[in-house]
Structure 1
Amino acid sequence: MYRIKFNNALLGGAALSVAMSISGVAQAQQTPAGTSVNNQATVSYEVGGTTQSVSSNVATFVVDKKVNLAVAEVGGAPTQTALNATDQVTTFTVTNLTNAVQDFRLEADQQSVSIPLLGTDNFNMNNLRAFVDSNGNGTYDAGVDTQTYIDELAPDATVTVFLVGNVPNTPGIETAIVSLNAIVATGGSSGALGADLVASSTLVADSPSTVEIVFADDTGLLDQPRNGQQRAFDAYHISTAVVTMVKSATVISDPVNFLVNPHAIPGAVVEYCMKVSNAGPGTASNIVLTDAVPANSTFVPGSIAVGTSGTLGACILLGTSEDDNATGADETDLYGGSFDGTTVRATLPTVAPLASMSVAFRVTIN
């Protein structure tokens, strides 16, 4: 009667990683690509009461390369900037989820898209570049962080990458959406960027003796699944306002022609109108307008008015009349105005993007 039992042994290589599904047990580190896994079985048996055994051949295969990565934006909010600002920074991380040391090629892209929490793209940054955080301090250091690719990143390691660009000096622009696209490249040669990895054909059966390349990365916005690359998005947001002011002088009446085609003669009343406009994209706030009453004229008491700009020659459409002092009930409304004997002052709480407000006062020509 034969009694047979089988035993398995792993020989000559690292033990296989096992993904533990039991709650509270972390997943083991991935087995490095290229690891040889050798397996041999034995069978023992008895013949006539004598135990004997025989071994199988050694079955061998090498672990293939499972290519994956993660790219993430850092901070969760757009980078606030200003017109004509230089070397403005957005920050990302790249994590190597491949079971091998890899290089990563970096692309700084600009996207004409609309993304919740980031806004709608309406301009491009100038000279947008990608740099690796060389000293690991998480802050872009010009002249120090100069490497443009990730070199020899170990499995499960993470590195910070900065996108750096210049803001155009174009009034009205508001949001530039950018993305960092990381492409897995061949590792193994320090100091030089390897070629982009190419996946092994899925139409060919696995070769036990060859380290084959399997792309395992997920899909994402503007990114295809299993292509050996991944991107993340961020934005630059212009937080300044471009404010301009246009001043006009209109003769209201004169002592000869009265209101019919009045002329700028002594005794005539002239209305000054200051139109404050905001080209955006930010809101201008705490606006204070000052205007010295010119020589050869006398301020008309009680003539200050502040409000939304009018059309067809009207200075103000909707607004308030202000007295000449800086106190009292009229100073508690939306607007303020005063005259100190030489200078007219007016206050506006805000001027919204693409909006305008006006201030008017009158003088008599001496």
Structure 2
Amino acid sequence: MYNRRFKSILLSGLSASAAILMGSAGHAQTTSATGTAAGTIVNNTASVSYSVGGTPQTAQSNTATFVVDKKVNLTVAELGGTDTQTALGATDQVTTFTVTNLTNAIQDFRLTADQQSVSIPILGVDNFDVTNVRIFVDSNGNGVYDAGVDTRSYIDELAPDATATVFIVADVPNAPGENVAIVSLNAIAAAGGTSGSLGSDLVATSTLTPDSPTTVDIVFADGGGIGDLPRNGQARAFDAYQISTAAVTMTKSAVVISDPYDLAVNPKAIPGATIRYCMIVSNAGPGAATAVNVTDSLPANVTFVSGSLNVGGTGAGGVCGAGGTQEDDDAVGPDESDPNGGSFDGTTVRAMLPLLAAPVLGIPVPLAVTFLATIN
């Protein structure tokens, strides 16, 4: 919708008066990046001079008047430029946004938080939802969420060209293997003018309605974006919670592999039999685990078999397989960095794995630690 424009008409021998911009209270208005304030009354008059029988004469026109309409515009932006790093089971995790009022009037903004079921390449592949989602507006302007201080869930009386900081606060479920939750903040322009309460959502004046020079029409001028239609009085921005922790678990088995009488044919757990201990270490992700240390204190009724410690073999399918590195009993020497490490100090078996990788296509890649012991 376009405001009417009135121009002074210059006739032969005429002089035009300057246009005077006056507010509704009769005061001169200033302009900003958002333009002339909505509701500003613009008055314009013209004069004509002429002669009759050599005598100068003048005449004044009526005053042409119109009211500046409301041009509604806003932007919402994610603050920080990177995903919000978090951990499994973390509570009150914060993503931060800004809302800027580009409307030529003071505005309220209703705020909603949405979770996405689609992936956004710049943020990652969405595969879980956060819980207990809340919205709070920065009340003291420090740009940091202060629990119990920042309590308002809408933007109240935001001046033209001014910016408010908004926080989405949520909890992260304890669900290993999931790592990205994409959220968005949607701001909807609402009526301002009453401090301390949220105004109703603005409704654009129909494009089929002619401009009225005495009323303030509403024109939506906002652009569109992902999940946001143009000229709807709303704007949206996205952020993501990214879990960078690992969820490491370990299972242990003890299998009799031989005894002094049946040897390896269906051996039994009798004194003198050899037991194969196996610890399978698995990482459900979503991130990799580093500096993994396995510790196993042997019971008093078994004896460690010297030189039997193997670290880093495959543990896929819950079966201790081949591979890994053979370790001696001490905690020094080249075998401690090949790349794994291991030792036995007379009572405790220790194994060191420098890296337990993140799952591949959602499937963990376990590693094994094995050693032998005889039953006393």
Please give the per-residue CA displacement for 1:180-235, whole angstroms capped at 9, x wherever unaligned: 10000001111111000000001122111110000000001000000000111111
CA shift for structure 1 position 240: 1.6
| Alpha-carbon contact 1:307-1:316 (below 8 Å) kept | no
Q: Distance in 2 between matches of 1:206 and 1:352?
A: 65
Q: Distance in 2 between matches of 1:151 and 1:301?
A: 73
CA shift for structure 1 position 45: 3.2
| Inter-CA distance 163–310: structure 2 relative to 1 (3 Å threshold) | closer
Q: Distance in 2 between matches of 1:161 and 1:310?
A: 47
Please, which runs of 5 or more residues in structure 2 have no aligned partner?
1-10, 359-363
| Inter-CA distance 312–3: structure 2 relative to 1 (3 Å threshold) | closer
Q: How does 1:157-172 map to 2 (within 5 A)?
A: 157-172=162-177
- Pairwise CA RMSD of aligned residues? 1.9
CA shift for structure 1 position 8: 3.7
Counterpart position of 1:52 = 57
Verify: 1:208 aligned to 2:217, yes or no: no
1:309 to 311, 314, 322: 314
Counterpart position of 1:323 = 328
Q: Distance in 2 between matches of 1:75 and 1:157?
A: 19
Counterpart position of 1:336 = 341
The structure in which a higher percent of residues are strand is 1
TM-score by length of 1: 0.93
Verify: 1:10 aligned to 2:15, yes or no: no
| Alpha-carbon contact 2:313-2:325 (below 8 Å) kept | no
| Matched AA of 2:343 | S
| Matched AA of 1:200 | T
1:350 to 344, 351, 355: 355
| Matched AA of 1:162 | F
| Inter-CA distance 312–195: structure 2 relative to 1 (3 Å threshold) | closer
Counterpart position of 1:121 = 126
Q: How does 1:229-248 map to 2 (within 5 A)?
A: 229-248=234-253
Counterpart position of 1:364 = 374
Secondary structure of 2:330's counterpart equals coil
Structure 1 segments (4+ residues) deviating >6 Å: 15-18
CA shift for structure 1 position 314: 4.3
Q: Distance in 2 between matches of 1:312 and 1:28?
A: 64
Q: Distance in 2 between matches of 1:28 and 1:242?
A: 51
Verify: 1:292 aligned to 2:285, yes or no: no
| Alpha-carbon contact 2:137-2:154 (below 8 Å) kept | yes
| Matched AA of 1:281 | P
TM-score by length of 2: 0.90
Counterpart position of 1:182 = 187
CA shift for structure 1 position 54: 2.1
| Matched AA of 2:216 | V
Please give the per-residue CA displacement for 1:18-56, whole angstroms capped at 9, x wherever unaligned: 8xxxxxxxx755110000001111223345554433222
| Alpha-carbon contact 1:307-1:317 (below 8 Å) kept | no
Q: How does 1:245-260 map to 2 (within 5 A)?
A: 245-260=250-265
| Alpha-carbon contact 2:29-2:40 (below 8 Å) kept | no
CA shift for structure 1 position 293: 2.0
| Alpha-carbon contact 2:21-2:29 (below 8 Å) kept | no
| Alpha-carbon contact 2:182-2:241 (below 8 Å) kept | yes
